[in-house]
Structure 1
Amino acid sequence: MDPVPSNITKSYPRRGPLQQFRFADGTAFRCFRCGDTKKSKLITLYAGDWARKLCNGCYGLLLSLYEIKAGAAAEDVRAEQLAEELLSLVSANQLRQAERIYRASEKRAEVLAAHSLRFVATAEHVAAQLDSDPQLEWSPAVIGLCKAVEAEVVSRILVPLAVLTASEDLSEDKKDKDIGRIAAYCIDSGRKPPELGTFAHFLQTVVHSQERRETSRLIRCFLSLIGDWVGSVWILDPQGFHRALATLTTSYRNRAAHIEELSRQDYIDCREHTFGNKGLVWQLVIATEKTSDCLRV
């Protein structure tokens, strides 16, 4: 533990793992997060550790993340806010470089949707800047992987579903609390796409509700859509796609959207689950191949 640099004249209320102190004299220190050297009378500590001093810029970033995670908004909303914070951590040039690096290291990246590549490349870039200490920044990095999966779901499933249902009357499906948000997107695909949790709930309904399969035009179209995909069995298997999405949301996304601090290991585990050799994304890519595409190979 480092000694207190000088006399404390004021202690500010603790905000999550962060607390600011004002000292009688200006003190030089190195920010443990960004590595810059600073001199200030106002110093922030992380987790009460004097070896973990923060500059004002890093304090503002971590505070904004903490306030999102401590908020009362739903998980989907907090995930969106954390995703925005993730993208704000890198410049446009850094993002382009991160995408080039990811494309070079992962040849499979060529099959990813543009938004998916953007999120996973940014998550990888941000994660590379972090050390092994558990910090709030790991939450946006994990959220980035989740958003990359969400982008693939939208590109590979929801956009084709919206095209297929263009001539269908989905007014009754739109009223259904379990599938209504998916129906609303299909009616107006120009609106913001549904979040990952919304699609997971829709898929759960498709898998388990025999009545909906018989009465819902939206679900009938969904089943027709996947009928020409080689992985339709995996998509409809309760232990397949839905289980993989449930693990992603409960073990990673929802935890990242709450107060709990995620570690480097959490990020590694989430990356393995989503973009590892047998990750969720690559299973989805294979599952959504059309039978005709496979015959041409």
Structure 2
Amino acid sequence: MSSPGTFSPGSSSPRTALAGTLPETAVTAVLRMALQEDAPYGDITSQTLIPAASRATAVLNARVPGVFSGGEVFVAAMKLTDPDAVVELLVNDGAAFPAGTALARVTGNARAVLLAERVALNLVQRMSAIATRTAEFVALVEGTGARITDTRKTTPGLRVLERYAVRCGGGANHRFSLSDAVLAKDNHLAVLTGGDPARLTAVLRGAKAQLGHTTHFEVEVDSMEQIEPVLAAGVDTIMLDNFSLAELAAGVALVAGRARVEASGNVNLATVGDIAATGVDVISIGGLTHSVVALDLGLDIELDIEAKAG
């Protein structure tokens, strides 16, 4: 086991279990990789300047308003560098907060707190940014019945954290990986049909026949003309990609409940409400994860002014 203020990639992590929606093993793997990257041979700054037995209390403060995500990641990071650290979460994941809110507090070995600081902040800032952006989209479609979902446009290695953050913001997750469901997109269809639209129904039926009865089958279309041939194959979800608002409404009417309808492409905060109003069931948004700007959070050492003055 690593001592406070050091990090050993092979050490165990004596920390509390995370919530079931955020797998502990995945969080630990991400943190070990990040700490190994950030301090492969230790933190020479703290080891040079900070006495080994020094203690510190630090507060995770919000500089801007947002929706919190990653509390248990913060706990895990601090516990991984100092198993005896005491970490208190002051705000729950999924909760909205104003600027100036204290989100969490940690007391532990000073070297360990400083070692974990940047890794913890990087992850929690990104997760909270995703949760905040997702909540903005969810609020704009409230009452329409449309569900906001993410896509596979996630940071490699961080998908489990980023998708958890989407859920913290009130959104839902698309397929987690290529192994989870069939999603036939334009390039797949081009290979399958050789450019002959008359073959579309037959090739999709043949593909569907190879699947187990529990495997979800979704197909992306980019024109109204493809909708009927795709529906004739008995798919579960049809994705209307880069359709205009008028085309989305017409597409929903044409599908008429025979499959779930997903809208994708050109979705932003200015357009999502109108897209939802067309009657689509799902709106998938890559921007929830691929282009957010980290939320401005900071870890501030909490000074004991009275003790310092004395």
Using structure 1 for the length normalisation, give the TM-score. 0.30
Using structure 2 for the length normalisation, give the TM-score. 0.29
Judging by fraction of residues, say which structure has more helix: 1
The structure showing larger relative contact order (alpha-carbon pairs under 8 Å, at least 6 residues apart) is: 2
Judging by fraction of residues, say which structure has more strand: 2
